[in-house]
């Protein structure tokens, strides 16, 4: 039996990862360490709550004593770090907590893992840092997608905190031979995402015939991946990835915010004029796009189905999960 310490597993991607991992793979015990911030929803883990291979610990990744004791008690083979403050808008209003969780938290986890693993020479151990395309900054329509060698040019406090963590992971790899891998993924969508994020906002606003707020001229472009494809890529990176490497994980499916909102309105048979332009976000990146060939070639990563199908599933999920609630 192998043990994986998953952090932030009660959030959007982490809960999808845990549910999917326990469903697909035998022989793993998952310990979920989550602080349960506003972004967490333990309901998303109700199907695995009583699973014999699942344990939950409420706590902060910045709590060195707690993290150290978990590493000593459970001796995990892998740490997969999803725990983060993840909302760009919040990072503009209150950057401090982003620096604490997203940078100090990652160092605290790595220090505990290093102490626990180093005597055995890190043999068979993996620390997987879940990062984002936003660390590369913004490109224009004419520029090529980011590769893993693109410079880190973050523009928001959120992306700067994630880029800082990536650099710290790199430093631990170079300095201590720490067995880490970084994955950098594009925007995720799918079940269990916090309603503050773009796609849930579109669906839940449309459901109530409320305006969908779109920043600026709505032409900003994002690449979108279904959350379970991202989770599968993380599992592949954990199983097949080479320590010290970075893997971009994307779908190559890019849409402007306004086109995406209108697509969702069309699926839901709602009037397109529910789209409402609002003042732009400060420092709003124009376009993110990833070159994911390395993950495809070296990890065998591939998205399972196209956006058109997955977004239908996603709309259905929100309609069912939120029927009877107000958005
Ligand atoms: N959502 C995306 O589109 C996307 C894209 C690329 C990368 N990522 C990265 O993936 C990871 C997960 O993103 P998400 O969208 O699931 O985030 P989320 O905000 O939905 O969930 C974050 C989880 O981390 C927990 N958490 C926060 N601070 C903590 C702390 N100090 N200690 C322990 N737990 C803490 C929260 O309680 C929550 O359960 C993040 O690192 C994010 O940067 C997200």
Domain boundaries, the chain: 2-187+225-252+285-304
Long-range contacts of 172-179 (CB under 8 A, 24+ apart): 172/110, 172/114, 173/243, 173/244, 176/114, 176/118, 177/122, 178/110, 178/113, 178/114, 178/122, 178/127, 179/117, 179/122, 179/125, 179/126, 179/127, 179/243, 179/244
Q: What's the whole-number mean pLDDT along residues 206-212?
A: 97
Q: Is the whole model's pTM more than 0.75, yes or no?
A: yes
Q: What's the whole-number mean pLDDT along residues 240-247?
A: 98
Q: What is the DSSP string of 257-276?
A: HHHHHHHHHHHTT--GGGEE
CA distance 14 to 42: 11
Q: Is 133 a catalytic residue?
A: yes
The tokens for 271 are 């009037």
What ligand 1 atom has the least distance to the C-alpha of 83?
24
What average pLDDT does the chain have? 97
Q: What's the whole-number mean pLDDT along residues 295-311?
A: 97
| 294 class by beta-carbon count within 10 Å (0-12 exposed, 13-18 middle, 19+ buried) | middle
Residue nearest atom 18 of ligand 1, based on CA coordinates = 11
Given the residues 34, 60, 85, 133, select the one marked as catalytic: 133
The tokens for 34 are 């989550």
Q: What's the whole-number mean pLDDT along residues 77-82?
A: 98
Q: Is the pLDDT of residue 209 over 60?
A: yes
Cβ–ligand 1 contact at 247 (below 6 Å): no
CA distance 292 to 185: 9
- pLDDT reported for residue 32: 98
Q: What architecture does CATH give domain 2-187+225-252+285-304?
A: 3-Layer(aba) Sandwich (3.40)
- pLDDT reported for residue 327: 44
Task: Give me ligand 1 centre to Cα 28, in Å.
Answer: 22
Q: What is the DSSP string of 82-148?
A: --S---HHHHHH-HHHHHIIIIIHHHHHHHHHHHHHGGGTTTT-EEEEEEEGGGG----TTSPPB-T
Characterize the bridge pairing of strands 254-256 and 221-226: antiparallel
The tokens for 146 are 């980011």
- pLDDT reported for residue 267: 97
**Most informative mutation of 7, 8, 197 for ligand 1 (most atoms within 8 A of CB):** 8
- pLDDT reported for residue 85: 98
- pLDDT reported for residue 325: 60
> Counting every residue, how long is the chain?
327
| pLDDT tens string 213-233 | 999 999 999 999 999 999 999
| pLDDT tens string 160-206 | 999 999 999 999 999 999 999 999 999 999 999 999 999 999 999 99
What ligand 1 atom has the least distance to the C-alpha of 9?
39
Longest dimension (CA), the chain: 62
């Amino acid at each position: 039996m192998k043990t994986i310490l998953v952090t932030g597993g009660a959030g959007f991607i982490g809960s999808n990862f845990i549910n999917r991992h326990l469903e697909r793979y035998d022989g793993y015990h998952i310990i979920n360490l989550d602080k349960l911030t506003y972004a967490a929803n333990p309901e998303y883990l109700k199907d695995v709550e009583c699973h014999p291979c699942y344990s939950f610990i409420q706590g902060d990744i910045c709590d060195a004593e707690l993290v150290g004791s978990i590493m000593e008690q459970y001796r995990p083979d892998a740490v997969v770090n999803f725990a983060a403050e993840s909302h760009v808008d919040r990072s503009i209003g209150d950057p401090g907590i982003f620096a604490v969780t997203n940078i100090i938290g990652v160092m605290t986890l790595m220090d505990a893992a290093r102490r626990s693993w180093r005597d055995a020479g890190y043999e068979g151990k993996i620390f997987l840092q879940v990062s984002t395309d936003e660390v590369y900054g913004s490109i224009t329509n004419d520029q090529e997608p980011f590769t893993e060698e693109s410079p880190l040019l973050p523009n928001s406090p959120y992306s700067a905190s994630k880029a800082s963590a990536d650099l710290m992971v790199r430093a631990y790899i170079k300095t201590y031979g720490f067995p880490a891998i970084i994955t950098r993924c594009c925007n995720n969508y799918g079940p269990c995402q916090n309603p503050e994020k773009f796609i849930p906002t579109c669906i839940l606003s449309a459901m109530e015939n409320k305006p969908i707020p779109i920043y600026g001229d709505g032409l900003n472009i994002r690449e979108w991946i279904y959350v379970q494809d991202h989770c599968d890529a993380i599992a592949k990176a954990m199983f097949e990835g080479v320590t010290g490497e970075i893997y971009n994980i994307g779908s190559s499916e890019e849409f402007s915010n306004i086109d995406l909102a209108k697509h969702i309105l069309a699926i839901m048979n709602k009037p397109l004029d529910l789209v409402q332009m609002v003042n732009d976000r400060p420092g709003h990146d124009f376009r993110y796009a990833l070159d994911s060939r390395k993950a495809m070639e070296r990890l065998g990563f591939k998205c399972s189905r196209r956006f058109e199908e997955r977004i239908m599933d996603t709309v259905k999920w929100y309609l069912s999960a939120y029927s009877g609630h107000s958005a």
